[in-house]
């Protein structure tokens, strides 16, 4: 019977009496194949997103450079340079989105509070599904609804406002005969961003600690007082961030604005007239098929401005969420 020779073992040197023993090394964790695949996939997805964002930014910047040196003959309308051309578009974009927020935010908060604290469970679930379903409606359908239903319905209201409140600068005449005004666009955009703000606000209100609500009720507060004391302060950062996300959707909306609005390259705060400031996205959609040469670069440059505005809005939203991690779902 043969025996294999064993390699000599290295003797372990004992520690000297005054020297502390070296700590034992922890065993190296074994990473499973599935974990490696998952971590690699997530890392790849994050890198792809960053590369795509950088590629879009580089493309917009490179294609926008000729627009900043374009002459008056290359710019559509009465503008003499690119800045004078894009400034009314920036104003119209921000103004329409602001009107949408003014209309949508209070309504969204009220609907979210009704679903979470007032409605019966079955009604709350059904209403939540209906609100979420609004987010799946295409913007073209909203545009058709704005032209065929909303604009004719609100035109008599606009006429009444001009007749009785025309002294107020926002309601100055002459009134639009079709109802296709910047206020109508604001209403359509408000309906479009309503599901975003409502859904996020609803989830935030549901995260309010039950101890805070029960403590307010135990001290004799009514349900509305409990909401003002416990729920709204807890959800304030989340409401702001949800509004910012809705603002980002309103800033980039194209088809609904292009279909409803009667656009002009003007700067005006009047809500009910037939001449209205247009938005960057709608202007690109309407003029890009006919653009050529430097005109294409001008439209791309206006898209770069919209890209920067949207990026700033998303950055502000993320900063607000990061101020208090408890309201972002991190805890």
With a CB cutoff of 8 Å and minimum separation 6, the contacts of 30 are none
Per-residue pLDDT of the chain (331 residues; tens, 9 = 90+): 445 555 555 555 555 555 555 566 666 666 677 778 888 889 999 999 999 988 988 998 888 888 888 777 777 777 777 788 888 889 988 999 999 999 999 999 999 999 888 888 888 888 888 888 888 888 889 889 988 899 889 989 988 988 888 888 888 878 888 888 889 999 999 999 999 899 888 888 888 888 888 888 888 888 888 888 888 888 888 888 888 888 888 888 888 888 888 777 888 888 888 888 888 888 888 888 887 888 888 888 888 998 888 888 878 777 766 765 544 443 4
Q: Distance between CA 287 and CA 308 in Å, rounded?
A: 21
Q: How far apart are the first and last CA of the chain?
A: 66
Task: Quote the tokens at residue 1.
Answer: 């019977």
CA distance 161 to 181: 14
- Domains in the chain (CATH in brackets) are 94-326 (1.10.3720.10)
- Local structure of 276: helix, strand or coil: strand
Look up residue 31 and give its two tokens: 């990473």
Which 8-state DSSP code applies to residue 311?
Answer: H
Q: Is 302 exposed, middle or buried (0-12, 13-18, 19+ CB in 10 A)?
A: buried
């Amino acid at each position: 019977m043969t025996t294999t020779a064993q390699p000599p073992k290295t003797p372990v040197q004992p520690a000297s009496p005054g020297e502390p023993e070296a700590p034992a090394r922890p065993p190296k964790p074994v990473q499973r194949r599935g974990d490696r695949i998952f971590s690699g996939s997530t890392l790849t997805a994050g890198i792809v997103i960053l590369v795509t964002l950088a590629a879009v930014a580089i493309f917009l910047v490179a294609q926008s450079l000729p627009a900043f040196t374009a002459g008056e003959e290359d710019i559509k309308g009465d503008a003499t340079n690119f800045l004078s051309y894009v400034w009314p578009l920036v104003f119209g974009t921000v103004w329409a989105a602001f009107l949408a927020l003014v209309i949508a935010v209070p309504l969204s908060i009220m609907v979210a509070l009704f679903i979470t604290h007032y409605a019966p469970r079955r009604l709350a679930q059904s209403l939540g599904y209906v609100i979420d379903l609004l987010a799946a409606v295409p913007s073209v359908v909203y545009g058709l609804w704005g032209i065929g239903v909303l604009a004719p319905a609100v035109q008599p209201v606009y006429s009444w406002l001009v007749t009785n409140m025309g002294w107020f600068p926002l309601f100055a005449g002459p009134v639009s005969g079709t109802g296709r005004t910047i206020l109508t666009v604001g209403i359509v955009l408000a309906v479009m961003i309503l599901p975003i703000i409502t859904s996020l606000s609803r989830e935030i209100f549901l995260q309010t600690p039950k101890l805070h609500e029960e403590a307010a009720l135990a001290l004799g507060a009514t349900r509305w007082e409990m909401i003002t004391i416990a729920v709204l302060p807890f959800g304030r950062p989340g409401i702001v961030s949800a509004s910012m996300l809705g603002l980002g959707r309103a800033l980039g909306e194209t088809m609904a604005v292009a279909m409803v609005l009667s656009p002009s390259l003007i700067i005006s705060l009047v809500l009910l007239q037939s001449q209205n400031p247009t938005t960057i996205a709608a202007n690109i959609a309407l003029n890009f098929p006919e653009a050529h040469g430097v005109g294409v670069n001008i439209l791309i440059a206006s898209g770069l401005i919209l890209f920067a505005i949207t990026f700033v809005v998303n950055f502000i939203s993320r900063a607000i969420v990061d101020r208090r991690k408890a309201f972002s779902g991190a805890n």
